[in-house]
Amino acid sequence: MSKLITNRRGVLRGGAALGAGLAMPTIFTASSAAAFTNDPTGSTVTLGFNVPQSGPYADEGADELRAYELAVEHLNGGGDGGMMNTFSSKVLDGTGIMGKKVEYVTGDTQTKSDAARASARSMIEKDGAVMITGGSSSGVAIAVQGLCQEAGVIFMAGLTHSNDTTGKDKKANGFRHFFNGYMSAAALAPVLAARYGTDRTAYHLTADYTWGWTQEESIAAATEAMGWNTVEKVRTPLASTDFSSYIAPVLNSGADVLVLNHYGGNMVNSLTNAVQFGLREKVVNGKNFEIVVPLYSRLMARGAGANVKGIFGSTNWHWSLTDEGSQAFVRSFGTKYGFPPSQAAHTVYCQTLLYADAVQRAGSFNPCAVAEALEGYDFDGLGNGPTHYRAGDHQCFKDVLVVKGKENPENEFDLLEIVEITPRAQVEYAVDHPMFAGGELGACNGG
């Protein structure tokens, strides 16, 4: 059909043009002379803050961005210094990082791996960011962590709770301050056993992606070790907004506990549906029906309103903690924005300070030197008590908070009460724990 006229001359010309086209790019293979990616040579250093500004986790993203701005202000010597004053390491002096003023660029991950990676790449390639941080979904955090490993910059993970971030998908250039599903389970299970007894039947509703899967696995394993039964595990799509059809079967399953492995908007909707179906008033097997939300945050509690009263969960940090570091952070955040910070804000603020501190101690922005400074580092004064950055998987180990929805909140921020501070020893695990096995850190990449 298509009239392709070929003659000798045409083929020769075409071949020559094609050959020239293919050969041309070979002149462009010289690499740059710098020792590592985006070595800051001027008087400033650029950090990349990559957070969801749209999508189901946009609330968390907005709060993270506030904390990042606050951290930059403190690093540059502005404000009241926040947790820099309570931090156990004193090498940061308010003159930026290694005397270079801290600047930042922001990007929208849209809670999508592709968009997040595109945004991070443009920060690295266009804006010369030497460190990328953020992420409010484990899928996104893992994707961006992989990118940073390839590009040769440090990734300081923000709000990501999946075991895989420092388990199966761990990377030498990636570091996580936030806790994970295993730690939630280890902290929560004894409290649940004490309150609800050891003879319970649980039903799981799980967000269908890496975080949901690993948290479900962790909670099921920890509660089963206490004597509970798991009757059913149901996966729900991340994009769902109505969970009625998933709640109805719970009533007939014989379960007396519902575990909601949901976060953000998902959790707000599923919990509301569950309460509307009257689950909390039901009596099954002669016991009161209970709901558990393993990963809690204040922003979610606000979204779910009165439904969260009396519901147990775990959290990385809460603004009502009374230690010096937490109070300093709440004070400076509150002064600037007029309300207390969320756990997402706290973890990213810590990550920024920890990065700056590691650079200062290493005396270099080289990712390999920074990684070495962070590995096996012990610190205190950032709100979680004595904390350890483990070298084997780049996961932080610290106390975990078990919280409960407050029965009589005094104001709109006072929604969670701390039930127990689970000591670090109880939530620790081996680097090669089966739930974290399957990946390897690899070698650090300086680009």
Partner 1 sequence: MLGLNQRDTKFLIIVIALTVFTPILLQPFPTDSGLAQFNAGYPDLMQRFAIFGIFAIGFNILFGLTGYLSFGHAAFLGVGSYSTVWMFKLLNYNVLPGLVLAIIVSGLFALLIGFVSLRRSGIYFSILTLAFAQMSFNLAYSVLTPITNGETGLQVYNDDPQILMGENGITTTHFFGFKMNSSWIMDLGPWQFTFNFGYYFCAVIAILAFYLSLRIFRSPFGLMLRAVKSNQQRMNYTGVSSRPYTLAAFVISGMYAGLAGGLLASMDPLAGAERMQWTASGEVVLMTILGGAGTMMGPVLGAGFIKYFENIFSKINDQVLHGWFAFLPDGLENALVWLLHPFVGKGWHLTLGLLFMLVVVFLPGGLVELGQRIRNMFRKKPDANDDSNHKPQQSPHVAE
85 counts as binding partner 1 under rule CB under 8 A: no
Determine the interface stretch with partner 1 among 119-127, 188-196, 324-332, 346-354 (rule: CB under 8 A): 119-127
26 counts as binding partner 1 under rule CB under 8 A: yes
Question: DSSP states of 392-442 as a string?
Answer: TT-BEE--EEEEEE-SS-SSTT--EEEEEEE-HHHH---TT-GGGTT----
Determine the interface stretch with partner 1 among 78-86, 108-116, 193-201, 295-303 (rule: CB under 8 A): 108-116
21 vs 286 by CB, closer to partner 1: 21
Return the structure tokens found at 296.
């809690």
CA gap 285, 246 in Å, rounded: 21
Tokens 């775990």 appear where?
A: 314
125 counts as binding partner 1 under rule CB under 8 A: yes
13 counts as binding partner 1 under rule CB under 8 A: yes
2 counts as binding partner 1 under rule CB under 8 A: yes
54 counts as binding partner 1 under rule CB under 8 A: yes
180 vs 360 by CB, closer to partner 1: 180
Which DSSP symbol is given to 26? G
In the complex, what is the shortest distance from the CB of residue 237 to partner 1, in angstroms, rounded to a whole number?
7
Among 190, 305, 334, 439, binds partner 1 (CB under 8 A): 439
124, 37 Cβ separation under 8 angstroms: yes
3-state secondary structure of 181: helix
- What sign has the CA pseudo-torsion 316, 318, 319, 325? negative
In the complex, what is the shortest distance from the CB of residue 267 to partner 1, in angstroms, rounded to a whole number?
17
246 counts as binding partner 1 under rule CB under 8 A: no
438, 164 Cβ separation under 8 angstroms: no
10 counts as binding partner 1 under rule CB under 8 A: yes
Task: Give alpha helix (H) positions in 76-209.
Answer: 113-125, 138-151, 181-196
The residues with which 131 forms a beta bridge, in sequence order, are 47, 154
Which spans of this chain sit near partner 1 (rule: CB under 8 A)?
1-5, 10, 13-14, 17, 21-22, 24-32, 53-54, 104-108, 112-115, 117-119, 121-122, 125-126, 138-139, 142-143, 146-147, 150-151, 164, 169, 208-210, 235, 237-238, 438-440, 442
